[in-house]
Amino acid sequence: MPLEAGGVLRDRYRIEQFISRGGMGSIYLAEDLRLEGRLCAVKEVRLDLSLSDETLDQTRAQFQREATVLARLDHPNLPKVSDFFSEEHSDYLVMDFVPGDDLRSLMVEARQQGEFLPEKEVLAWAGQIAGALSYLHSQDPPILHRDIKPSNLKLTPNGVVKLVDFGLVKILAAQEDTITIVQGRGTALYTPLEQYGGDTGHTDVRSDVYALGATLYHLLTNIAPVEARERFLNPAVMPALRTLNPELSPRTERAISWAINLHPEERPQSIQAFQLALLGQLEPQARVNGRLPNPSFGDVLSSRTERSLVWAAGVLLLLSFIATLGH
């Protein structure tokens, strides 16, 4: 059952109202009774009681470990995690309440008026988001967000964009083992192919690159990106950005097309590289030509063949050099 307004958690957080519900949890607006006037966002994650007692204990212990990591984060474009606790069959994460509208709402408003969000403004937002993601990715171990989308980005009244909802945060550990606060695949429209396996799929910083690219595609065209699964089956199904919004610069189109490539190896290898491409300081290593760069099997085979020929030529040159020395 949802939490009721007026209820108090941990003798401290009085629930004011329901905010939103995600795949694995609900978020509420609450007042901190110890700090008069402070509003916070409380995320409730209900445990699956069908699991064994041992699994439930492991899940709760995992939540405690990961929440401790999140509580150490401090970045202007991330809400501060101030508390975490468990009560009965739920785990709770307490964060700063971020006022303002989410970017999806701003995009919908522009679309209803027959307009696009200004490219310059969206790219300025992208710079702030990239800063937050670079900070997460630079942690030891690195942290992936895995659910970047317009509705998870809020623009505060003072112009700061904050990346909210840590529901699918993934902490990369040694040997590429992963720990996940709330298991899930993210939102399909913005999710790369490698993330479709949930926690069984291999994801890294390039998965967040894809999600940010897909988010910018949506914000700049007013059209949701096609799911990666559909694009894999039909590469031509997703229109290039400038066919939807001719006012966009070719540079922005090239950078975003690079970021949302289906193949991780064909994307920017870091958020910083993607940001440089958006600024025109790094040329995307991708083909656009009126379509999004989704290399076919033939493209991949051709690339591998070319590398093999270069390697073979190098070996032959070395053997010739050795033979010359023998004479």
- Written as one string, the DSSP assignment of 80-123 is PEEEEEEETTEEEEEEE---SEEHHHHHHHHHHTT----HHHHH
165 among known catalytic residues: no
Q: Is 327 exposed, middle or buried (0-12, 13-18, 19+ CB in 10 A)?
A: exposed
Percent of the chain with pLDDT over 90: 57
The continuous run of DSSP H or E covering 180 comes out as: strand 178-180
The CATH homologous superfamily for domain 101-298 is Transferase(Phosphotransferase) domain 1 (1.10.510.10)
What is the mean pLDDT of the segment spanning 271-287? 85
Structure tokens at 184: 């899930």
The residue annotated as part of the active site, out of 32, 102, 147, 165, is 147
pLDDT over 50 at 320, yes or no = no
Rg (CA), the chain: 23
pLDDT of residue 291: 41
Q: Where are the domains of the chain?
A: 8-96, 101-298
pLDDT of residue 68: 87
pLDDT of residue 299: 39
Percent of the chain with pLDDT over 70: 78
Check residues 161 and 164 and name the one with the higher pLDDT: 161
Rounded Cα distance between 100 and 125, Å, is 14
CB 218 within 8 A of CB 178: no
Check residues 108 and 300 and name the one with the higher pLDDT: 108
Check residues 186 and 12 and name the one with the higher pLDDT: 12
Q: Residue 291 carries which DSSP code?
A: B
CA angle (165, 167, 170) in 5-degree steps: 115
Q: Residue 178 carries which DSSP code?
A: E
Residue 239 preceded by cis peptide, ω within 30: no
pLDDT over 90 at 75, yes or no = yes
Sign of the CA dihedral with 218 first, then 223, 229, and 231 last: negative
pLDDT of residue 166: 66
pLDDT-derived band at 172, boundaries 50, 70, 90: low
What is the mean pLDDT of the segment spanning 33-37? 92
CA angle (321, 324, 327) in 5-degree steps: 155
Side by side, which strands form the sheet with 101-102?
101-102, 153-155, 161-163
Q: Name, of 63-67, 127-131, 314-318, the range with top average pLDDT.
A: 127-131
pLDDT of residue 178: 41
Fold of the CATH domain 8-96: Phosphorylase Kinase; domain 1 (3.30.200)
